[in-house]
Chains A and B, each alone.
Chain A
Amino acid sequence: MKKVFLQPMTVRIWHWVNALSFFVLVATGVQIRYRDIPNLATFKTSVDLHNFFGFLLIADFLLWFAFYVFTGKIRVYVPLNPKKFIVGALRQMRYYGYGMMIGEKDPHHATPEEKFNPLQQSAYFMVMLILMPLQVVSGILLWDIRMFAGWIAMLGGLRVVDIVHVVAFFLLTAFLFVHVYLTTLGRTPLAHIKAMFTGYEEVEENE
């Protein structure tokens, strides 16, 4: 077994702050939107927490974006070679749907340069470079609808911005379940999670 340094400190800090913010934002978002279902906090507390962790998430997102852009690591999210991406994605889908069931080895070998398999890459690309910016922008617009009235009108009105925010919320929440599950699909169930604390992931020597 050998240890590979996959998660730099900045990424690890970003990840756990992001995870905490995500959790609070989902919980308070549900509490705000579905006032009549759970009643864990008052509406005002929920809104205040949502606003606070929303801005924390935005700051964290900017940290992540700056780190990945300035280090050039942003390319791990972007499928630069479409042919390689498609082939790799099909192979990875086969693995998750069949190969894994019959005990085949994971076709993707994580390295600092290719941290994600093609499916992870496309999923995180969607999440980090499309859904998150949409969620951040729509969230900021909804935070002060008077200040951003012009922008909101340009985008089709308050309810349209709300729909964007809510649909992104549903997709991100759905992704959360998948994401947490996928973290258990490492060499051991806790291998990926441990790596996000230590930065190092244990991989087999022959990998």
Chain B
Amino acid sequence: MKHQISGRRKAYCLLMKILMVAAVVFTCGVTLFIIGYVLINGLPHITWELLSTKPSYLNDKIGILPDILNTVYIILATLIVVIPLGAGAAIYLNEYAKNKKIVAVIEYAAETLSGIPSIIYGLVGMLFFCQFLGFQTSLLAGALTLTMMSLPTVMRTTQESLKTVPQSYREGAFGLGAGKWRVIRTVVLPGCLDGVLTGCILSVGRILGESAALLFTAGLAHTVNGFFEGMFSSGATLTVALYVYAKERGEFEVAFAIGAILMILTLAINLLAMAVGRYFKKRSSL
């Protein structure tokens, strides 16, 4: 049998194929270019001195130790607050809520939160945490702002993992006479750990990359502080420092060095998220 396909159809198919391949090549090319460009320009400037000192106007030297510490502090503080809140909300939705209206309202609120741009979080964080609650421009205000931002992520991933806990486990525990809270503590919570973990990894990625929400809430200072002291004083994270060094001070070497560090961390977080996803998938299929 002979296929009869007109020249026009052949041309259409060929054109579409070429366009698709071109689009894929473009997408991958851009990704590789950005990663390569930042790493090539940044890696040579990452020195021990840069990583381990604070900026000094006396010696005209720039160090990013305070920015690294601030980033770590703000990640820790955000996670400490957001994990119980997000996981708790997910447990409520999945285990307790019977009223469909409340569920719909909460889910709609979570969707809305994830669509709000970070600059608006920054503004509201500044008005509410820094001014209304009187935290001033501090890492604490920044962390609380980021908590609002990462809440939907942690909530969603926890909810998804709660759905994979078999209903029979809960029924079994209830059948043995356990109360609701006991069932949640002993059966449901251990089952949603993977979701919480995935949510944490995604949140860390988002916090690392965040700058607009932190500019007005956590501020721009570069001083080395301990954790608790740091929470109540202003401090720039790595991304904010990159912005300041690149845009306002024209120190592109430092900016690239920070960029390279951020790229490496982003790569690591992506790989980690994939590995965690695969690990739990494998375990749950056993």
Q: Do A and B bind each other?
A: no
- B residues bordering A, Cβ < 8 Å? none
